[in-house]
């Protein structure tokens, strides 16, 4: 019998995944965690029935949430990742020689354990000695972080359950305070098709706090609608002044210095979402 995982986005739109096998399944303190072997997409981390990353296309999300802020900041020595328990964004951050230390605050230790065991292409990044894992709620941690950061990456799941608080005004305010005077925040801000309110709110919260705010878009087959948004707030450095070639190539599959400036060019309807109301 065939097994399919269905992610219903609206009553008229769903994404279906053919599951070859269930490798691991566990109800953690926070969520239903599963590692599945998918047809065509390799192994995947699934939380509460929602695909977080697949081996076949995780590089797109993880490279793009990471390299854009890391290239915009001239010296990202201290980095904080909130969420990101799969280790994919962490793997990309560690490619920068400027990085001295990375703190990763994940609410669910079992996500990290499962990814270390079953998804080593991402999970093995936890072995780097520059990494400190803090098991805590990111919202709570950022109220009194142990230091100030150059770059904060909010690599959260969708805004439901424990991740809901990672899309709220006070959370972004505390991220701003948790950054150094020239710090940069980036957050995944969901699909411009299915999460317009979330995108509008998150963008505008960040915009009110930071001197410069830039939204950028990426195509990711795994996520509903395929089109995904990231919002970057910067206290000092402007996208327009960034030379993406300065830090060189980073052994990536999606990101290249050549696409740095292009991802900020927005379609009309997305401009409309961030400027409305
Ligand atoms: N790339 C993914 C996506 O957009 O679907 C997200 C990857 S990562 C697996 C998301 C992580 O955020 C999960 O491991 C989840 O446990 C963690 N998370 C959710 N809420 C959190 C919170 N309040 N504090 C820290 N981590 C949180």
- What ipTM, to 2 d.p.? 0.98
Neighbours of 30 (CB within 10 A): 18
CA 243–ligand 1 middle distance (angstroms): 31
Residue 155 among known ligand-binding residues:
yes
Q: If you write DSSP's letter for every residue of 175-241 in order, what string do you get?
A: HHHTEEEEEEEEEE---TTT-HHHHHHHHHHHHHHSSEEEEEEEE-TTSTTSEEEEEEEESS--GGG
| CA atoms of 19 and 7, how far apart (whole Å) | 13
Give residues (CB < 6 A) around ligand 1: 45, 47, 52-53, 61, 82-86, 105-108, 111, 137-139, 155-157, 162-163, 165-166, 188
Q: What are the backbone dihedrals phi and psi of residue 89, each rounded to the nearest 5 degrees, phi first?
A: -65, -35
* Domain range summary for the chain, segments of one domain joined by +: 3-54, 58-275
pLDDT tens per residue across span 59-73:
999 999 999 999 999
Domain 58-275 belongs to what architecture? 3-Layer(aba) Sandwich (3.40)
For the segment 187-229, what is each residue's pLDDT rounded down to a tens digit? 999 999 999 999 999 999 999 999 999 999 999 999 999 999 9
| pTM for this predicted structure | 0.98
Residues 6-52: tens digit of each pLDDT? 999 999 999 999 999 999 999 999 999 999 999 999 999 999 999 99
Domain 3-54 has what CATH class? mainly beta
- Taking a C-beta distance cutoff of 8 angstroms, is the pair 137, 107 a contact? yes
């Amino acid at each position: 019998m065939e097994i399919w995982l269905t992610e219903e986005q609206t009553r008229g739109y769903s994404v279906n995944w053919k599951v070859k096998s269930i490798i691991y399944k566990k109800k953690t303190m926070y969520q239903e965690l599963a590692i599945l072997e998918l047809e065509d997409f390799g192994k995947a981390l699934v939380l509460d029935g929602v695909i977080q990353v697949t081996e076949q296309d995780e590089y797109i999300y993880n490279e793009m949430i990471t390299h854009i802020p890391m290239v915009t900041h001239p010296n990202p020595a201290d980095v904080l990742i909130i969420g990101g328990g799969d280790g994919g964004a962490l793997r990309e951050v560690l490619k920068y020689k400027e990085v001295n230390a990375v703190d990763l605050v994940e609410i669910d230790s079992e996500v990290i354990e499962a990814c270390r065991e079953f998804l080593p292409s991402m999970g093995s990044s936890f072995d780097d000695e520059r990494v400190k894992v803090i098991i805590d709620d990111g919202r709570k941690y950022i109220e009194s972080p142990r230091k100030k950061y150059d770059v904060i990456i909010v690599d959260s799941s969708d805004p439901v359950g424990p991740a809901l608080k990672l899309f709220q005004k006070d959370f972004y305010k505390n991220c701003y305070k948790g950054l150094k005077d020239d710090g940069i925040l980036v957050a995944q801000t969901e699909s411009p098709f299915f999460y317009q309110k979330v995108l509008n709110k998150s963008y505008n919260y960040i915009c009110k706090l930071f001197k410069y705010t830039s939204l950028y878009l990426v195509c990711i087959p795994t996520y509903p609608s395929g089109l995904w948004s990231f919002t970057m707030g910067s206290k000092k450095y402007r996208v327009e002044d960034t030379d993406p070639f300065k830090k060189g190539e980073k052994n990536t599959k999606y990101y290249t210095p050549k696409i740095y400036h292009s991802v900020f060019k927005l379609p009309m309807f997305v401009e409309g979402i961030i400027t409305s109301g």
